[in-house]
Amino acid sequence: MTRFNPPALEIQDVDSFYGELQVLRKASLRLQQREVVVLFGPNGHGKSTLLKAIAGIHPAAAGSIRYLGEEISRTPSAQIVEMGVAYIPEARNLFTDMTVGENLRLGAYNRRARSQVAQNLAYVFDLFPRLAERRDQIAATLSGGESRMLAVGRGLMSGAALLLIDEPSIGLSPIMKRAVFGAIAKIKSARDIAVLMVEQEVEHPLRLADRVYLLKKGRVILEKPAAEINKAEIEQAYF
């Protein structure tokens, strides 16, 4: 008998509001296991809100969100983390008065991750050698790129099977962008992890993605394999 593997993530007809303002309108999206999907779209059109809905931080007003076949649209955010979902916000939200190593260990606070701290820490340091060099450095002294590496690394420390990454390249130098996207490419090839990434920049994510969605005015207006879409088509949709 063939064993059915559910999608890593399945979103169907999700609506979301801030007060009376509707931000998401019947948004639907699917992410297979071990797949990298990039969600493009103009600023202020609901991309970050969709990630927050998945993570349980700003729950959807209507619609369905299923993680590995299980409905999570009304699940508390702490329980969603326990299930294997890590949300890495644009703001990073680091503990700036603590060291790099302390920030990383705090990412392993859930019960499942506590038994794998050493293993996951070694993996993060292999992925981001710069963090290994700065493990005893206070997080407030890191550069923007190093802070983004630390935020991604802390997400990996949770033992996540699904990473939700909001704007990983924002504010970074070209060198740091290559380093961060290179690390995500390594995650894709080496670990059983699905990645849903929100981005404004097109070039690097498009090379990395398996599939692409475009979100505009809270609606998904396009879904294509990354190999079948080009930068100009995405940029045209922005405007």
CATH of the domain at 204: 3.40.50.300
Q: What is the pLDDT of residues 64-97, one digit of tens each?
A: 999 999 999 999 999 999 999 999 998 778 999 9
Q: Is residue 60 part of a domain?
A: no
Residue found under tokens 């999700």: 14
Tell whether the model's pLDDT for residue 111 goes beyond 90: no
Query: Does the pLDDT value for residue 1 go beyond 50?
Result: no
- Only one residue has tokens 């009304």, namely 74
Nearest to 138 by CA among 187, 96, 94, 79: 96
Residue 227 within a domain:
yes
Joined tokens for residue 200: 């404004």
User: Is-above-0.95 flag for pTM?
Assistant: no
Of 132, 148, 145, give the one whose Cα is nearest residue 99.
132
For residue 214, the enclosing domain spans 34-45+76-238
Does 123 fall in a domain? yes
Bridge partners for 87 per DSSP: 164
Residue that is written with structure tokens 């399945």 in the block: 10
Work out how many domains the chain is built from and give that number: 1
Residue 230 has pLDDT above 80, yes or no: yes
Which one is predicted more confidently, 219 or 201?
A: 219
Do the domain assignments include residue 13?
no
Q: What is the pLDDT of residue 4?
A: 64
Can you tell me the distance from the alpha carbon of 201 to that of 23, in angstroms, rounded to the nearest whole number?
Answer: 22
Q: Residue 100: inside a domain, yes or no?
A: yes
User: Does residue 71 fall inside a structural domain?
Assistant: no
How confident is the model over 153-179, as pLDDT tens digits?
Answer: 999 998 889 999 999 888 888 888 888
Q: How far apart are CA 170 and CA 175, in angstroms?
A: 13
Beta strands in 41-193 (DSSP E): 62-67, 70-71, 85-88, 162-166
Whether 61 is in a domain gets the answer: no
Q: Is residue 21 part of a domain?
A: no
Helices (H) and strands (E) in the chain, counts: 10, 10
